[in-house]
A and B are shown apart, each in its own frame.
Chain A
Amino acid sequence: DVKVTQSSRYLVKRTGEKVFLECVQDMDHENMFWYRQDPGLGLRLIYFSYDVKMKEKGDIPEGYSVSREKKERFSLILESASTNQTSMYLCASSSRASGNTIYFGEGSWLTVV
């Protein structure tokens, strides 16, 4: 089974702090994604990466950056957290071979106070 692991499930951070959300997948997938999930807004793509050191902006990249130094690891960075970034963050991965099936992690709940 594909496993996408988000190491931090629940975080509380202060406004202005730098926040790192880490994600690891164990299936050698080329593509990795960060989504944000908010009630009534569904799943919104923040950034994706189709290869090591490659990244592309999604629909809502403002206030976020990402890093992919290794194929299995994709990090989401909030340079200066703000209260409007309180949300559930979902990491996901997919392979070119599996077509359009995306495999999600269990999510990281971030609260910015």
Chain B
Amino acid sequence: QQQVKQSPQSLIVQKGGISIINCAYENTAFDYFPWYQQFPGKGPALLIAIRPDVSEKKEGRFTISFNKSAKQFSLHIMDSQPGDSATYFCAATPTQGGSEKLVFGKGTKLTVNP
């Protein structure tokens, strides 16, 4: 019930391609869905987040698509660049629960080849 399932575990994309990472959840109380980006040797940092009142949120080359009925959300990275190579974590939480209730996916290691 509390899990967030993330796929794929690793992803290799050519420069200029589209990277797509998918997450699925079961807990219908989840209503805040952030994505964190982690570069090697660094801690994760918030990249973009969405709430279920919208189906899509775009910030630059990064877009979250959200499907409430399917309980799925995904991160799309357009025109992927080598500098996007990092590990990406999706997460979910019920807003009322506070940040200690944040549940993370297991991460996707993205490699963008030049």
Contact = CB atoms under 8 A, between A and B. Distances in A.
B43 A101 contact: no
Interface residues of A, number: 25
Contacts of B44: 43, 90, 104
B89 A56 contact: no
Task: Give the bracket for the number of chain B residues in contact with chain A.
Answer: 20 to 34
A102 B99 contact: yes
A100 B89 CA distance: 15
Contacts of B98: 31, 50, 96, 100
A105 B43 contact: yes
A45 B43 contact: no
B42 A107 contact: yes
B100 A101 contact: no
Contacts of B93: 100
A99 B107 contact: no
Contacts of A96: 98
B28 interface: no
A96 B99 CA distance: 8
Nearest to A41: B106
B95 A99 contact: yes
A58 B32 CA distance: 20
A4 B43 contact: yes
